Amino acid sequence: MEEELTILRTLCDESASRELRLQLMESYARLAFATPEHQVVFESIRALFSRGPISAAQLGVHLTKRGFPDIDAREYFPSS
């Protein structure tokens, strides 16, 4: 579970290269995360990624619109 959290935080980390984040998204696109919340967050990150930098607020809004208002998006950013 900690590995999944690390991957999600890397995807939200603007200091990580875009190429690395794209590789991670491609690698994990066909796999199911062990934690259902992590799967939902991953899907939202993938949906938002092409729009530019992802903020915790933006991710939180996306998760809420998808029906997951109780997920704390701030947990998925490296400074958390």
Of all helices (H) and strands (E), which one includes residue 57?
helix 56-65
Using DSSP's 3-state secondary structure scheme, residue 75 falls into helix
- The encoded tokens of residue 44 equal 């939202």
pLDDT above 70: residue 80: no
Helix or strand or coil: residue 32?
A: coil
pLDDT digits 0-9 by tens, 2-53: 999 999 999 999 999 999 999 999 999 999 999 999 999 999 999 999 998 9
Regarding pTM above 0.85, the answer is yes
Largest CA distance in the chain: 31
CA atoms within 13 A on the CB side of 45: 27
